[in-house]
């Protein structure tokens, strides 16, 4: 019995530590300095204020700079703080319609759950200009998401894949809750 309990405990610890190792996406690692991936001149010339935070975060399009591309994304960006620390790694693809996007997302979720030994949760949320259909996995340091984002004003649907820090996630929540 002790051996069985020890084996089960070992499996749980290995699953949890393996999932905690999920800190990179598209060849970029959270909390790294962005200068590891692009020059400081590129950062200074191309960063722009993140639209979903009140202050302190900047987006940087890196589509032409990214080395590890995905067949599920043709546009890439990172979100950095004032010290150029990476807080979000993001890739997206425009998909023909919501049904196709959700089918692709479902397949990506299944592959990710198997690869990383994690379990996604699902939620939907409506915002003033779009609705999210999101699968997500969270730890104490990061959120990993695969979602379809449907615009209310157009027929566009985005398949979005992201990995972000809880610090950025809190700043985004603060932005959306600020007008209440």
The C-alpha R_g of the chain, in whole angstroms, comes to 18
Task: List the structure tokens of 52.
Answer: 């979903």
Q: How much helix, strand and coil, in percent to the nearest 5, is found in the chain?
A: 35, 35, 30
Q: 90 pairs with which residues across the strands?
A: 77, 162
**56-105: pLDDT as tens digits:** 999 999 999 999 999 999 999 999 999 999 999 999 999 999 999 999 99
């150029």: which residue's tokens? 84
What percent of the chain shows pLDDT beyond 90? 80
Q: Is residue 153's pLDDT more than 60?
A: yes
* SS3 at position 106: helix
């010290």: which residue's tokens? 83
Question: What does the buried/exposed string (b/e) look like for 19-56 if buried means 16 or more CB atoms within 10 Å of the residue's CB?
Answer: eeebbebbebebebebeebbeeebbeeebeebebbeee
**25-34: pLDDT as tens digits:** 999 999 999 9
Q: pLDDT-based confidence at 176, cuts 50/70/90?
A: confident
170 exposed, middle or buried (CB, 10 Å; 0-12, 13-18, 19+)? exposed
Contact 178, 54 (CB under 8 A): yes
* SS3 at position 1: coil
Q: 75 pairs with which residues across the strands?
A: 92
């Amino acid at each position: 019995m002790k051996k069985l309990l020890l084996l089960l405990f070992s499996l749980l610890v290995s699953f949890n530590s393996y999932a905690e190792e999920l800190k990179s996406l598209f060849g970029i690692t959270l909390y790294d300095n962005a200068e590891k991936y692009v020059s400081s001149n590129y950062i200074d010339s191309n960063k722009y204020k993140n639209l979903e935070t009140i202050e302190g975060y900047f987006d940087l399009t890196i589509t032409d700079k990214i080395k590890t591309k995905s067949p599920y994304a043709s546009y890439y960006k990172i979100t950095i703080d004032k010290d150029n620390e990476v807080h979000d790694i993001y890739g997206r693809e425009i998909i023909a319609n919501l049904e196709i996007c959700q089918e692709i997302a479902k397949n990506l979720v299944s592959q990710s759950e198997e690869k990383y030994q994690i379990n996604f949760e699902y939620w939907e949320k409506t915002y003033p200009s779009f609705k999210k259909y999101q699968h997500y996995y969270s730890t104490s340091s990061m959120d990993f998401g695969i979602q379809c984002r449907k615009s209310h004003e157009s027929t566009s649907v985005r398949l979005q894949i992201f990995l972000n820090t809880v610090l950025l996630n809190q700043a985004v929540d603060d932005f959306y809750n600020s007008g209440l």
